[in-house]
Every structure is written in structure tokens, then in C-alpha cells.
Amino acid sequence: LLELLDKQLAQPAYSLAGYAAVGPVVTVVADASAEEAFYVNLLGLDRVASGLLTGSDIEQAVGLPKGAGLDYRVLGRAEDPMGRVQVLEYQGARGKGLYHRAKPPALGHLHATWHVRTVAPLAARSTGSSALSAARGG
């Protein structure tokens, strides 16, 4: 939804097997900067959009308390709207424990796959301690 504001919808891309491309993966995190560092520094994605949504419109749209906001970062490739990652961080809003089973270690699992021509660039980035350190927020 964040990427569709003021844009016309295009037909989805299809593979030769007839599968549509994957839309964005949305992650809601406590530290958007650390999450972004992982995708940018290690996986080589670009920030294609970002912002901080505040005010009554976003408060009403997603049920935020007055004065809260939504920090968002869209990561991927500017020329390709499919397969992007949307990193969201709620600001000024305390969460409610609505899912009694979502407690460590059962917090969920995300599995995402990117098709690449070669793993060499990823391997080069992963050998530098700065990429992994930034990905871990350190």
C-alpha cells in the first residue's frame, strides 16, 4: 500500500511457468535502522522510499494512539517494484500482547528467497565484519 500512493497499478510480472512475482514482504520491527542495515549492507538492497507517517489520518487508518507514528522504509530496486521489503517501526505506541503463544522462542519465522546470478557479491559482503555487525545492530 505504501508504494501505491499516487501511482497507477501495472499488470504483475509473470514467469515462464505462469507464476506472478511476489509483492513486498512486510516486517514490523522494534528497530527499523538495524533491520534496514541487514537488507542494505548484507543483501545489497537499496532504499527506494522512506518516511514517517504521523497525524490523525495514520492514527485512524491503523489504530495508533494520538501522537504516535509509523516509520517506514521500502527496500529493493527502484526499477523493479516486485519482491521489495517494507520495514515498519511503530513510534510512540506500546504493543499489546494479543498472541499468547508468540513468546520466545516461538516468535515466528520468515523465509525469503532472492534469485541471483551469482553468490559472489553476497559472499564478499558477508565476509566483512561491518556488514554482519551492522545487520545485528552493532
> Does residue 109 sit in helix, strand or coil?
coil
Q: Is residue 62 within 8 Å of residue 70, measured between CB atoms?
A: yes
Report yes or no on whether pTM surpasses 0.85: no
- Which pLDDT belongs to residue 103? 65
Question: Average pLDDT per run of 10 along the chain, which is 138 residues long?
Answer: 52 60 79 91 90 92 89 88 85 73 61 72 70 50
